[in-house]
Amino acid sequence: MSWYRNTVWFVKGLREYTRGGYESASKHFNPADVEVDVAGRSFLVTGANSGIGKATAKEIARRGGTVHLVCRNKERAEVAKEEIVTETGNQNIFLHIVDISNPKEVWKFAEKFRNEHKLNVLVNNAGCMVNNRELTEDGLEKNFATNTLGTYILTTALLPLLEKEADARVITVSSGGMLVQKLNISDLQSENGTFDGTMVYAQNKRQQVVLTEQWAKAHRNIHFSVMHPGWADTPAVRSSMPDFYEKMKSYLRTEAEGADTVVWLAVSAEATQLPSGLFFQDRQPVATHLPLACTHSPPEDEEKLMEVLEEFSQKFRSTSPG
C-alpha cells in the first residue's frame, strides 16, 4: 500500500503543492484577511532564522506584532533579527537561542519565558530532516527529538501562558508528506528496520497532526491548527532533499508563499471561525488522509502517543535546572 500512498501524494503534490498550486489557490484569497494590525500581541516563532519561520516572523513584524525568534544558531539568528528589524521598522523583535532537539533546554527556556513574557500565538516551525540515524546527547533520535518531542514540550510548557490570553493560538508547520504515513507508536525512535530520513520526517509530521487534534480536544479556549506550506524553496529543502530540489527547483514556492497560511492562521479573524484542530493548506482546511490509503489510527494509539510523550517530557523536566 505504501507505493500507492507515495504515488498519489506525489501526483497531488505536483498539482497543489508547487508554485502553480499556490497561484491558483491565491486567486480565492481575501487580502483583507491579513491586512490587520496586531500591535500589542505577542508571537513566538521557532526556527525563525531562515525559510518559512523567518518569512512568518517578518510578516507578523510588518503588522506590528511583538515577535520572539527562537533559533538554534546565534550568528544566523542575529543576522535574521537585524534583517527583520531593518525591513519592517519594528523594534519589538526579541531573540532566544534554544536547541529544540534538547528537551532539558526547551524546558529551561519555556519556564523562564513564562515568568518574563506574555504570549498570544505560538508558531511551531522548527524542524529537521536528518537522513542518517543520529542520536542527541540525551540518546534521542534527532528527527523525533526536534520535530515531535521538542514541539510537544514547548507547546505544553507554554499552554499556561496561552490560557491567560484572549484569542490564543498555536500553529504547527507540518508537511503533506505526513499523508503517506500511518501513526506508528511502536517505534518512535526509528530503531527497527532500514532508516529512511524522509519517511521518519513524514512520520514525525503525522505525529504533529495527531498532537494538534488531541490538544484541540483538551484545551477549548486555545485555537490549534496544523498546516502544510507546500513545496517551498528553503535552505532546509536544499540541504535535506538535494535531489528533490534539483528536479523541482523551478516549480517551488517562495518562502513567503510557503509562509502565507501560517501568517493567515496567526493573525486573521477568519481562521478562528473554523474549528480548532484542523489541517490547513492554502488557507483552507484539507483532509488528513488520502482516499484508500489506510492511514487512519485507532483512538487508543493517538492517546498512547500523548501518554508516551508526556512520560518523555516529565523525565527531562525533572532533570532540568529551575
Say what angle helices 103-116 and 299-317 make with each other, to 10 degrees.
80
pLDDT tens digits, 123-169: 999 999 999 999 999 999 999 999 999 999 999 999 999 999 999 99
Provide CB contacts within 8 A for 242, sequence distance 6+. none
- At residue 6, what is the residue type? N
Transcribe 207-228 into DSSP letters. HHHHHHHHHHHH-TTEEEEEE-
The sign one gets for the Cα dihedral 211, 215, 217, 221 is negative
Question: 197, 244 in Cβ contact below 8 A?
Answer: no
Residue positions annotated with a catalytic role: 201
pLDDT at 321: 47
Return the DSSP state at 193.
S
Transcribe 247-268 into DSSP letters. HHGGGPBPHHHHHHHHHHHHH-
Q: Give backbone dihedrals phi and psi of 85, rounded to 5 degrees, phi first.
A: -60, -45
Query: Taking phi first (over 0 means left), then psi (-120 to 50 degrees means alpha), and beta for anything else, what does residue 79 get?
Result: alpha
Q: How far is CA 203 from CA 82, 148, 282, in A?
A: 35, 9, 22
Cα dihedral angle (98, 109, 103, 46), rounded to 10 degrees?
A: -50
Cα dihedral angle (57, 60, 61, 63), rounded to 10 degrees?
A: 170
pLDDT at 318: 61
pLDDT at 322: 44
pLDDT along the chain (322 residues), means of 10: 78 88 97 98 97 98 98 97 98 98 97 97 96 96 98 98 97 95 96 94 97 98 97 85 84 95 98 98 96 92 98 82 46
H runs (alpha helix) in the chain: 2-16, 19-26, 51-62, 74-88, 103-116, 142-143, 151-163, 197-218, 235-240, 242-248, 255-267, 299-317
Q: What are the structural domain ranges in the chain?
A: 3-315
Average pLDDT over the chain reads: 94
Answer yes or no: pTM beyond 0.85: yes
Q: Does domain 3-315 have CATH number 3.20.20.100?
A: no
Q: Give backbone dihedrals phi and psi of 228, rounded to 5 degrees, phi first.
A: -110, 120
Angle at 160 between CA 155 and CA 162, to 5 degrees: 70
Nearest to 124 by CA among 13, 16, 262: 262
